[in-house]
Amino acid sequence: MTQHDNPFNEPLPDKPLDRRLILVAGVVLMASLGSVYAWSFFTRPLQEAYHWSNAQISLVFSLAVAGLGFSALYTGPLVSKLGGRRLMIRSAKFFVCGYLLAALGLFLGSGIIGDVSSPVVSWVSFVILALGYGLIGGIGLGTGYVTAVSTVAGWYADKKGFATGMIVMGFGMGALFMSMVFAPFAMWVASGNVAGAYLLIACVYGAIMAVACRFIFSPHAAVTNGHKATVADTYQHRMNLRVRLWLTTFTYSLAGLGIISLLSPLMQDVTSAANPTLSAAALAAAGATLIAIASIGNSIGRLFWAWLSDIIGRVNVFIILLGSAAVAYLVMPHVSSPVIFGILICYVIASYGGGFGTIPSLISDLFGPKRMSALHGLVLTGWATAGLVAPTLFGFLYDKNPANAATIAYYICAGSLLVSMLLVITVKRLHKQCIMPVSESAIELAAEAEAAAA
């Protein structure tokens, strides 16, 4: 291919590429973006320095979640038009500028324009922080997330599950690295000043992402990417398939995000019941330990379940992981051992991650790789919607009915996962037809399968 034939105006490699290089670059970029999940690390320092409420600080993260989901919806159709590198560079710019703008807002609230105890100063500082970290950074997150997944999946048409699992695992591991390593280091360098820490984080991630973007090439640069034409490439599905995929993502995300928002208090309740003599500090440590372990489980689950889907099929994996996680939630109200409870929690979080690792490949199988990015962006809005609903709903339960909130939450999660599993089952027959080689009979069978599911 010559530069003249290049549909994305990207630089072409001088020699055939090793696709593993693109995969590594994609994982690095996703790990950088995944640092957003470590937002809670800065909650207490922000409250101590700026006296903002929990609701205000939670709003910033909610904006980032919403920004990710809805910018992914906008970016999805652009991947096949603008190419992976151009969009990843755009993602990096938004993401880093989000941190820089957040740092500016915090600096302004630290005394430059007045005392933070002034409502006006506090409001200006908070609004700039929310616009930077939440809105601008969220746009960068969504742009990069859907682009990285789609680009790498295009290079690994023969191992889509493994490749997309690696990519989304990077997102989860980035959060763990940020919360356990980089954020504490940045705060130490900045002498506990969050604004200074954000400035350092922006500079480091800006450099890392700039280098990684140089190794991102769209799949057109490959001599062959292993994709064989299937019914999915051209078949025009009914709109209700998109609705079912969106609802699938929303329901399993509702369960995952809802329980993630309560990890620490749930673990503390179980631990306290098992050993009432433990101090508050010991209980808090137990909650923090579960969060760290669950983060690892989330990341591993993204890779494991996605890899397994290459072997036993996407729909089968979804049925197993959603059904088994629902059973785990039904067992939790009857568990008194903190160890067993922790194992069950880690399993359901790993299954939640597995849904994110597998859904891009399922979409690609149903709609073809060229349409995968657009549909992936659409279903991510289901996750964003769940991110706005779940923490609020589960927090409300804890406020209004603390004695029974955990049990109610477990049953809500189990019900959500069972609904998600049933939705996936409705596409099983259609999925089987869509992955068949193109033929007139195969297209007819796909139409029959979709009509039966509808």
Domains of the chain in sequence order: 1-227 (1.20.1250.20), 228-454 (1.20.1250.20)
133-143: per-residue pLDDT in tens? 999 999 999 99
Question: Higher model confidence: residue 386 or residue 3?
Answer: 386
Backbone angles phi, psi at 230, to 5 degrees: -130, 175
Supply the pLDDT for residue 114.
57
CA-to-CA distance for 226 and 216, rounded, in angstroms?
18
Hey, which of 261-275, 290-304, 318-332 has the most confident mean pLDDT?
Answer: 318-332
409: Cα within 13 Å, side-chain hemisphere: 31
b vs e for 208-222, b when ≥16 Cβ sit within 10 Å of the residue's Cβ? bbeebbebbbbbbbb
- Band (4; pLDDT cuts 50, 70, 90): very low
Query: Which pLDDT band holds residue 449 (cuts at 50, 70, 90)?
Result: low
Q: pLDDT digits over 207-237, tens only?
A: 999 999 998 988 765 545 556 778 877 878 8
pLDDT of residue 128: 93
At residue 253, the pLDDT reads: 92
Which of 103-112, 170-179, 409-418, 439-448 bottoms out in mean pLDDT, i.e. has the lowest?
Answer: 439-448
- What is the per-residue pLDDT for 104? 93
The rounded percent of the chain whose pLDDT value lies above 90 is 38
The type of residue at 371 is R
Least confident residue range of 239-243, 255-259, 283-287, 348-352? 283-287
> Among candidates 431, 81, 67, which has minimal Cα distance to 245?
431
Separation in Å, CA 104 to CA 28, 329, 389, 441: 26, 43, 30, 61
Give the position of tokens 């560079």. 89
Give residue 13's pLDDT band: very low, low, confident or very high (50, 70, 90).
Answer: low
Which of 229-233, 267-271, 288-292, 350-354 has maximum average pLDDT? 350-354
pLDDT greater than 60 at residue 3: no
Given a cut of 90, is residue 66 above it in pLDDT?
Answer: no
Mean pLDDT over 143-154 rounds to 90
What pLDDT shows up at residue 388?
A: 80
Please report the pLDDT score of residue 7 as a whole number. Answer: 59
- Which whole number is the average pLDDT over 364-376? 87
Residue 92 pLDDT: 96
pLDDT of residue 140: 95
20-43 pLDDT, tens per residue? 899 999 999 999 998 887 787 787
Closest CA to 254 of 57, 144, 418, 68: 418
140 and 95 Cβ atoms separated by less than 8 Å:
yes
What is the rounded CA–CA span in Å between residue 117 and residue 139? Answer: 31
How much is the average pLDDT of 308-314? 93
| Mean pLDDT value across residues 105-128 | 78
Residue 106 has pLDDT above 80, yes or no: yes
pLDDT for residue 244: 94
Report how far residue 351's alpha carbon sits from residue 414's, in angstroms, rounded to the nearest whole number: 12
Mean pLDDT along residues 236-242 = 87
| Residue 389: predicted pLDDT | 84
Q: Is 398 exposed, middle or buried (0-12, 13-18, 19+ CB in 10 A)?
A: middle
Q: What is the pLDDT of residue 14?
A: 66
Once rounded to an integer, what is the mean pLDDT over residues 94-105? Answer: 95
Identify the CA nearest to 8 among candidates 76, 80, 93, 89. Answer: 80
pTM over 0.75: yes
What is the pLDDT, as a whole number, of residue 1? 46
Enter the tokens of residue 50.
């700026």
Mean pLDDT of 422-446: 81
Window from 157-161, 183-187, 341-345, 358-362 with minimum mean pLDDT: 157-161
Mean pLDDT of 404-425: 92
pLDDT for residue 401 is more than 60: yes
